[in-house]
Amino acid sequence: MPNSAGSVMSVNSLTVESVSEILALATLLEGEDPLKRATRLAKRRIALLFYESSTRTRTSFELAAKGLGADTTLVSSLSSSIEKGETLKDTGLTLRALGAEAIILRHPSSGSPWLLEQETRLPVLNAGDGMHEHPSQALLDLRTILAHLRPGVETVTAETLAGVTVTIVGDILHSRVARSNMLLLPKLGARVILCGPPQLLPAVAVEAGPGIEIERDLATAMKQSQVVMMLRIQAERLAGLQLDLEEYKTSYQLNEARLAEHAPTALVMHPGPIIRGLELTGEVADGPQSVILEQVHHGVAIRMALVERALTLGNATGGRQ
Ligand code: CP
């Protein structure tokens, strides 16, 4: 079953050229007159289907779609017939029958976007599937990195991030954000260092793709990095893993002293939600090197581009019935 042309379910399906087009479209839409922009998808219907909680992704996709003039509807697992046992397939088919032309899906099961696309034949935007991927987050992270390290770059290539090292720290095992970033950033030439304890970073992680290394020592990793991307410990996915949080903080928490000593000019990123005092301190989160809220800001432009693209490229497999 081919992907719908407008779907974005994995970073793997994005070529460097398509990444460049998405970035350019984000910039175009962000700069466009809001009234003109709102005519692009006027009265088109987009469903947000969220089986897990979300603040940033849900809100920014909704603002993005509305900014393009689309009508949106939110279906969440706690206030819909999903609670009564309705399957993903039946919920998707119901949304399509109600006129949805694309579905933005967050779901705890890896691979669920592919099932939804197969059953509905609609473009699906993956807003996070289990521990698998979060492609729109990686794209907004990329836009944030480019804004700081490659300002003014309009077109990205396989060399755009040559010489840039990004260290991703913490709960790599459970992180769809880490996976999408470690697949995306090396496509543009970045080196990615994964850093964390073996319980949260199995050695096999280097096999996820090219350009990925493991460094267990945070100071060693930070010294080599222009970007330090911190991750939340995903308590909801630890499922019996023995992890001493005090030990974790001793070795991996990003605090002001560590940052000043090992990476005084690096960008500090975090996809959110942040847990102050665990993976990073409040001082670092609010400090001058933090671009955490900039990441959130870039999410709207990137998601406008993804929504516009989803409805413009449509689907390759039949579409709305
Ligand atoms: N980064 C991210 O996905 O945040 P939310 O869970 O709030 O959407």
C-alpha of residue 318 to centroid of ligand 1, in Å = 31
For ligand 1, say whether the CB of 77 is within 6 Å of any of its atoms: no
- Please state which of the ranges 116-120, 209-213, 287-291 shows the lowest mean pLDDT: 209-213
pLDDT at 107: 97
User: For residue 215, is pLDDT > 50?
Assistant: yes
C-alpha of residue 59 to centroid of ligand 1, in Å = 9
Query: Distance (Å, rounded) from C-alpha 221 to C-alpha 239?
Result: 28
For ligand 1, say whether the CB of 135 is within 6 Å of any of its atoms: no
Banded pLDDT at 320 (limits 50, 70, 90)? very low
For ligand 1, say whether the CB of 272 is within 6 Å of any of its atoms: yes
Number of helical (H) and strand (E) elements in the chain, helices listed first? 12, 9
Quick one: which atom of ligand 1 is closest to the CA of 271?
A: 1
pLDDT at 319: 43
Domains and CATH numbers, the chain: 11-133+299-316 (3.40.50.1370), 135-296 (3.40.50.1370)
C-alpha of residue 127 to centroid of ligand 1, in Å = 9
For ligand 1, say whether the CB of 92 is within 6 Å of any of its atoms: no
For ligand 1, say whether the CB of 72 is within 6 Å of any of its atoms: no
Residue nearest to atom 5 of ligand 1 (CA): 54
Full-model pTM: 0.95
pLDDT at 87: 95
pLDDT in tens, 285-314: 999 999 999 999 999 999 999 999 999 997
Q: How buried is 301 (Cβ within 10 angstroms: 0-12 exposed, 13-18 middle, 19+ buried)?
A: buried
pLDDT at 139: 98
C-alpha of residue 186 to centroid of ligand 1, in Å = 23
Are 136 and 179 in contact, with CB atoms under 8 Å apart?
no
Q: How buried is 207 (Cβ within 10 angstroms: 0-12 exposed, 13-18 middle, 19+ buried)?
A: exposed
The preferred substitution site among 49, 51, 54 for testing ligand 1, maximizing ligand atoms within 8 Å of CB, is: 54
Query: Distance (Å, rounded) from C-alpha 176 to C-alpha 21?
Result: 23
User: For residue 2, is pLDDT > 80?
Assistant: no
User: For residue 74, is pLDDT > 80?
Assistant: yes
Considering the chain, what is the average pLDDT of its residues? Answer: 94
User: For residue 217, is pLDDT > 90?
Assistant: yes
pLDDT at 225: 98
pLDDT in tens, 17-35: 999 999 999 999 999 999 9
For ligand 1, say whether the CB of 136 is within 6 Å of any of its atoms: no
The preferred substitution site among 51, 57, 133 for testing ligand 1, maximizing ligand atoms within 8 Å of CB, is: 57
Q: Is the peptide bond before 264 cis (omega within 30 degrees of 0)?
A: no
Residue nearest to atom 1 of ligand 1 (CA): 271
Quick one: which atom of ligand 1 is closest to the CA of 53?
A: 6
C-alpha of residue 134 to centroid of ligand 1, in Å = 9
Banded pLDDT at 209 (limits 50, 70, 90)? confident
Using alpha carbons, list the distances in angstroms from residue 257 to 4, 193, 285, 307: 48, 21, 13, 41
pLDDT at 321: 37
User: For residue 315, is pLDDT > 90?
Assistant: no
Query: Distance (Å, rounded) from C-alpha 141 to C-alpha 135?
Result: 10
pLDDT at 127: 98
pLDDT at 316: 47
